Structure 1
Amino acid sequence: MASDEDAKDDGYTAPELADSRWLHHAEAFASTSFWSVARRLPAIVRESVGIAWTASKRDTVAAIGLNLVGGVMTTLGLLATAGVLRELFAAGPTPDKVRAAMPALIVAALATAAKGGLTIAAGWAQARMAPQINFAIEIRLFEATTAVELGAFDDAGFAEDMDRARERGMAEAASLVDSTVNLVTGAVGVVATATAVTVIEPLLLPCLILASLPSAITAVRVARREYVTLLSRITRRRRLWMLANLMANRLTAAEVRTYQMRGFLLGEYRRIMHSETGALLSLVRTQTGTRLAGAVFSGGAAFALYAALGGLLLAGNIPLAAAATALIALQQARMSQYTAIYAANMLYEDALYYGDYRAFLDRAENHLPKPGGTPVEGFDEIRLDDVSLRYPDTDAPAVDGVSMTLRRGQVIALVGENGSGKSSLAKLIAGLYEPAEGVIRWDGVSITDLDRASLARHVAVTTQDWWKFPFTAEQNILIGRHDRTGDGGPSITDAARSAAAHDMIEKLPFGYETLLDRAFKKGHDLSGGQWQRLVSARAFYRDAALLICDEPSSALDARAEHAIFQQLRADPARTIVLITHRLANVRHADHIYVLHEGRVVQHGGHDALMDQGGLYRELFELQASGYRASV
């Protein structure tokens, strides 16, 4: 169980990952009894069969149905074996006994052969289900992660749930179904042999059941302890992953060496790994003790079972042939019991992890945008009335009571110091967030009443934290409007030229077909400024009516910066929201909004703001002073 001690590693107090709500159910699992697990199995099996049925009805029916028929063959084979032994142990000449046993022997052989063929066919159907289930489960997860609102990723527990769903919860779906089929296989084997044992000697049936209980209880306890230990280790494992990524990453390698961080990072890794190793050794010790106790009780139960059979023989309650057949049946039953118990163990464990996947999907449902709404065909005016935005677990709002109007064709500049709320306000304007207070209207219609998908088609955003997609240069531009079907927008090369990126791309080893990721064979990387030009080309290719540029030239040289700003002003029908600390680039904006601590403290044109004095003039003159000749 995660606790304050889990965050401390040899005196080092690591930051605690936010939102521990997902740990609450670990206590319930730790106290779950064997009988509670047994009661849960039918529901787990139903859900598992539902997963398999959704993935492939035919393979589900084949995998389960063939195993059921195989169980019938097992029973038939054991009963035929009893007939063979009865004839062989009867009085009379050996040739006569063999001839009398031949029909039953043929039936036993055919039943055994049929059981083998059915097992192979069932295994084929079972193996076919895994890739189909993985496909369905993975698609469902990523449909959820790509559909939720951006604000979901600000939810402290959302990332935790998503990581657990991806790390194992998603992978356990196929294993859950596989374990269910194995459980059915084992259970059918147990029932088949139990049926044969009942026919041969009913008194052996309760002995068979009692012999299996110690193994079943041991398996469940081992599974529960392993799961609870995993939950307690998630936070520590994420810290280890973070440190490992810092120490073995090309992007961090330069700073690690520049600041001589090697000793620091290795020290942190050793401290946390020491606790992780201790937790794993403790788990091994606990599980070994549990397995040892289970083995002792299982051995005692097996001894009692064979003693009961010996007593029946000595008392003359069963004939020798029946006893011999019962012995064969009991051995088969033990194998089937082991299969069933192991499958139940795995099924229970898989269900715990798959439950994380289901819990994440349920959580994601709460973050989906409202479906439907008024389609957006464009806009003439976007109005913000007293809008605010507050991120979870923060005291101060990122945007606080902002009102402004954006009209088609205008260039609107957002200016302010770091942390003043410019990027957050831009995300509100883009429709990436809904305001916590106030209202945003597109041509008089509240953004909450608009169809979010059609609204997004009219918006392009270049962020200051762009992602380096591992695609070709052409694909990196194409994803700006990947579904374009000849709507008259700019071509890829036109967009690249607008961003001063065409010549740069042409000089790459394979031009527009160059893969931009060195992790791949023949991959290539770009400088920060080159990437920023590519990102700008993507925005130009999108050809949206509203273009939001958040520090679009922070990594550009003067020539590329000049070219991009010329293109930003080239389309008179495009509305530009410009965020930049280079105030020389906002002098010609139609309207400038100056933000401080999430609020608009000044707004107007450049000349009017310079005349007013205040924060804008102060910031502008501070920058301008750097270009003046010193006296």
Structure 2
Amino acid sequence: MGLLGLQVGLGVAGTLLATLQNAARDLLGDTLQNRIHRRILEKAAGLELAHFENPKTYDALLGATYEVGSRPLGVFTQLVALAQAVLTLSSIGFLMSRLGWAVMPLVLLASLPGVLVASRFGFENYRMIRRRAPEARMQNYLAQVLVDDDYVKEVRIFGFEGYVLGRWQEVYRKFRAQLVPLVYQRGAWGFAASLASAILIALATLQVLARAAAGRISVGDFALFAQGIVQVQGTFSSLLGGLSGIYQNLLYMRNLFEFLELPARNLDTGEEWKGPIHSVEFQDVSFRYPLTEREVLKGVSFRLERGQSMALVGENGAGKTTVVKLLTRLYEPSAGRILLNGQDARRYSPRSVQKQISSIFQDYARYALTARENVALSRIEEQANRAGLEQASRKGGADEVIAALPEGYDTQLGRQFNRGLQLSGGQWQRLALSRLYFRGSSVLVFDEPTAALDAAAEFEVIEALRQQAKDRITLIISHRFSTVRLADVIVVLEDGRVSEQGSHEELLRQGGTYATLFRLQARGYQEQAEGQGKL
């Protein structure tokens, strides 16, 4: 009874230890996955804008997130398995040493071919995945086109679902063309490895049989060999496979480290800017984007004072948005200086300067969050400030939009989530404008602020803009001259250079590029008005 109780107790203890081990492994895996994902997101949050305009960054990001949870945990579990395998081999090897000096080495060598083949093709698989990172991103993008709300309407109307599916399948076929020969080679080499292992085991068996025939080992020793050979081979294979697995996991983790080692810009480096910005001056500013040779801006100079508004005019690619990126410290000039209140902007940390700048871009973001968050993200620590939210919403023209929502400011927006409501383009833009006003900055930047608005809404926004510009510096980029003409100063950019500068009336009198563009647009409006009802 005592032995039975001991056996039951050992069984229960073993089960308990296995349960605890599994639970610890699951919890450790979850913790590792969370921490590594956080590291990746923290790194991404600290990268300069230039990184996100370079496709190599997205390849690195894809590699960093590939099996990010399983690889580090795999290294840890394989290290534990290695320790267990070494202990098992030591004990069994001692027992099998009586069967002959060549038996144990032959059994161990029999495990080697399979592990070598697995290691080689594991590395080849890693190389294939790294090579096809751009294609994998393209395949993911094509899948997104078929399911994302931003694309689905146009896809359905033009009916090119089949084309997108075909492109998706074409990318897959390229991957398949690389995978098939790799699988065949792995199978052929695996078969050869199995043959080699079988021959080595046969040699070890002959050694044992010869000793048995000579009467130098007992029936019990032969039984030990029969049972031990399987365990030794399996344990040694696990040992070598663990070493190979650690190497392969470290290869994949190398992708993670490559991403984490990308140079990041510390936005808090420099002196802290304090107080409002009263003047902005570009002094002979030139700029070229990283890894390019073309200068987007060439010797651009202008000055703005508090209470002044300036409009940037020019064809697409003239450099207007680049001026905004430099002003908002997303980039630094390649040459020249940007002065804030007469001081070189480089002296101050980008983050502290950006607190005094509020902007809305032409490709404004549509956050699938609540209406409150969509307005408050520009100063998220103040999202409980209901009076401030309502005031900003009125200035941006979003107050009526929010009032019509079923839960007001707490309504979930975007169809990606349950009970989420989709807004029109103009409604989203009103929220983006309200977000700009909620910031309460001394510099306002508008990149096509009325692009998605109808005429009545545009008038309201422009009136609000004029009120806000009275005690701030305002920079406007727009193709609508009804908006541009309200600016105190208009700067015309052509091929990255300032070709004209002055008020609306001054530029009309000069009869240059601005006057030509203005008259073309005015004539277009007039012809449209005369032709109403004829479409």
CA distance in 1, matches of 2:401, 2:446: 21
Residue in structure 1 matched with residue 272 of structure 2 by the alignment: 375
Correspondence 1:412 to 2:284: no
Correspondence 1:494 to 2:391: yes
Cα contact 1:152–1:367 (8 A) shared by 2: no
Q: How does 1:102-501 map to 2 (within 5 A)?
A: 118-169=17-68, 172-198=71-97, 204-363=103-262, 366-369=263-266, 372-378=269-275, 379-392=277-290, 394-484=292-382, 491-501=388-398
Specify whether residues 309 and 110 from structure 1 end up closer, same or farther in structure 2 by C-alpha distance, changes over 3 A only. farther
Specify whether residues 305 and 556 from structure 1 end up closer, same or farther in structure 2 by C-alpha distance, changes over 3 A only. same
Deviation at residue 286 of structure 1 after TM alignment: 1.8
Cα contact 1:223–1:348 (8 A) shared by 2: no
CA distance in 2, matches of 1:155, 1:620: 36
Cα contact 1:126–1:181 (8 A) shared by 2: no
Deviation at residue 399 of structure 1 after TM alignment: 1.8
- The one-letter amino acid of 2:375's match is I
Deviation at residue 327 of structure 1 after TM alignment: 4.4
**1:213-251 deviations in Å (ceiling 9; x for gaps):** 112212202212222222333333333333333233333
Cα contact 2:29–2:70 (8 A) shared by 1: no
Deviation at residue 583 of structure 1 after TM alignment: 1.5
Cα contact 1:410–1:575 (8 A) shared by 2: yes
Correspondence 1:581 to 2:486: no
Cα contact 2:63–2:130 (8 A) shared by 1: no
Specify whether residues 238 and 627 from structure 1 end up closer, same or farther in structure 2 by C-alpha distance, changes over 3 A only. closer
User: SS in structure 1 opposite 2:486?
Assistant: coil
Cα contact 2:268–2:351 (8 A) shared by 1: no
Deviation at residue 319 of structure 1 after TM alignment: 4.4
CA distance in 2, matches of 1:146, 1:199: 63
Deviation at residue 494 of structure 1 after TM alignment: 1.6
Specify whether residues 409 and 327 from structure 1 end up closer, same or farther in structure 2 by C-alpha distance, changes over 3 A only. farther
Specify whether residues 352 and 589 from structure 1 end up closer, same or farther in structure 2 by C-alpha distance, changes over 3 A only. same
Deviation at residue 153 of structure 1 after TM alignment: 1.5
Under a length normalisation based on structure 1, what TM-score does the superposition of the two structures give?
Answer: 0.76
Cα contact 1:552–1:580 (8 A) shared by 2: yes
- The one-letter amino acid of 1:135's match is N
- The one-letter amino acid of 2:42's match is E
User: SS in structure 2 opposite 1:601?
Assistant: strand
Cα contact 1:412–1:577 (8 A) shared by 2: yes
CA distance in 2, matches of 1:533, 1:136: 37
Deviation at residue 273 of structure 1 after TM alignment: 3.3
**1:493-548 deviations in Å (ceiling 9; x for gaps):** 22111111111112123322221121222111011101100111111111122221
Cα contact 1:470–1:515 (8 A) shared by 2: yes
Deviation at residue 263 of structure 1 after TM alignment: 4.4
- The one-letter amino acid of 1:233's match is R
RMSD, matched Cα: 3.0
CA distance in 2, matches of 1:167, 1:433: 30
Residue in structure 2 matched with residue 560 of structure 1 by the alignment: 457
CA distance in 2, matches of 1:111, 1:489: 64
**1:151-196 deviations in Å (ceiling 9; x for gaps):** 1222342222122222345653333333333344434433443355
**1:113-156 deviations in Å (ceiling 9; x for gaps):** 87666555444333321011111101101001011111122234
Residue in structure 1 matched with residue 517 of structure 2 by the alignment: 619
**1:80-134 deviations in Å (ceiling 9; x for gaps):** xxxxxxxxxxxxxxxxxxxxxx99x999999888766655544433332101111
Specify whether residues 562 and 181 from structure 1 end up closer, same or farther in structure 2 by C-alpha distance, changes over 3 A only. farther
Cα contact 1:466–1:535 (8 A) shared by 2: yes
- The one-letter amino acid of 1:306's match is T
Specify whether residues 171 and 546 from structure 1 end up closer, same or farther in structure 2 by C-alpha distance, changes over 3 A only. farther
- The one-letter amino acid of 2:205's match is Y
Q: Percent identity of the aligned residues?
A: 29
Residue in structure 1 matched with residue 498 of structure 2 by the alignment: 600
Deviation at residue 552 of structure 1 after TM alignment: 0.9
The runs of 5 or more residues in structure 2 that have no matched partner are none
**1:10-45 deviations in Å (ceiling 9; x for gaps):** xxxxxxxxxxxxxxxxxxxxxxxxxxxxxxxxxxxx
1:536 to 433, 437, 442: 433
CA distance in 1, matches of 2:252, 2:41: 18
User: SS in structure 1 opposite 2:358?
Assistant: strand
- The one-letter amino acid of 1:227's match is Y
**1:26-77 deviations in Å (ceiling 9; x for gaps):** xxxxxxxxxxxxxxxxxxxxxxxxxxxxxxxxxxxxxxxxxxxxxxxxxxxx
Residue in structure 2 matched with residue 99 of structure 1 by the alignment: none
Deviation at residue 200 of structure 1 after TM alignment: 8.2
Residue in structure 2 matched with residue 512 of structure 1 by the alignment: 409
Under a length normalisation based on structure 2, what TM-score does the superposition of the two structures give?
Answer: 0.89
CA distance in 2, matches of 1:343, 1:548: 57
- The one-letter amino acid of 1:599's match is R
Deviation at residue 317 of structure 1 after TM alignment: 3.9
- The one-letter amino acid of 2:47's match is V
CA distance in 1, matches of 2:203, 2:11: 29
User: SS in structure 2 opposite 1:491?
Assistant: helix
Tell me how many residue pairs correspond in the alignment.
526
